Amino acid sequence: MVQAYNFLASWQLFPEKGAYEKGDRPKSGIYKIEAVEGKKELRIFHNWLSLENQAFASNYSIIADGDLHPLPASEGADKVQALFADGITFEIHFYRGGQTLLHVVHEIMPNGYLRITQQGELENGQAYTNMEYYHKQMSVLPYAASVSGAVIRPTEEGMIKHKALTAMEEQTNMQLDQIRQQIELLALQAQEIQKRKELSLMIYEAKLTFKPNIGQVYYLYQKNDDSYLVSLVSPKEWGAAGPFKKFIAAVQLLADHTWKEL
């Protein structure tokens, strides 16, 4: 299922970003979407922890072909319909007795987050909308759960697993962030070294009539014949009538015999 590709992952909830008109804001949560090989079937797992540290878990399967299909083992909906609008949006409709019970829209946002919007009716008939935001996890967890249309049961085992796995995710994500920062720093250092290398090659190909000293500041010019020259004389000292086509940069010789631009 090509259109499902962007959604196939384990997603971790941003509790503080959500808006809930039905139910309380959860403490944490995991939303996982898997594809069944060779079919249009998706397995959806939803696992969350309440503010009272009570764990809930549920899972169900859907066939994303736009047709109505029975939803077995559900105390809520009896039929489900799922379809992909495009590669970044897919919808699930839950029905009971021919009436719409719940409408769920999954959207991949420009920043890569997953937004899940649930729309239904409260017991008094008033419409409600719950909106949640998730970010893709770096690892795939071996459990998950679901939405209002499927069976939801609190389990002590689920709470223990959820706490342990949430702690693991926080620690590994923190370590991955540290590694990512180190990689970014190394990339910047590599860019700086490459820049010094290119400047050094330019200078060593330039006309140099003296032996440069480490730490001394020099001035790189482009001559009228497009060759380069390193000079002790600054552009200010040359004045407007300097015998060069272009001033390139003030440069300094480092201990490793590379040059850096000042």
Q: What is the pLDDT along the chain (262 residues), one digit of tens a residue?
A: 567 888 888 899 998 899 999 988 898 899 999 988 777 789 999 988 888 888 888 888 899 888 999 887 555 788 999 998 888 899 999 998 888 899 999 999 888 899 999 999 998 889 999 999 999 875 444 333 334 444 444 445 555 566 666 677 677 777 877 787 888 888 888 888 888 888 888 888 887 778 888 888 999 888 888 888 888 888 888 877 777 888 888 999 888 888 888 8
pTM above 0.75, yes or no: no
CA–CA dist 54, 87 (Å, integer): 35
24 closest CA partner among 72, 56, 66: 56
CA–CA dist 187, 229 (Å, integer): 31
Structure tokens at 234: 């600054």
CA–CA dist 211, 149 (Å, integer): 80
Domains defined for the chain, CATH in brackets:
2-154 (2.40.128.20), 195-261 (no CATH)
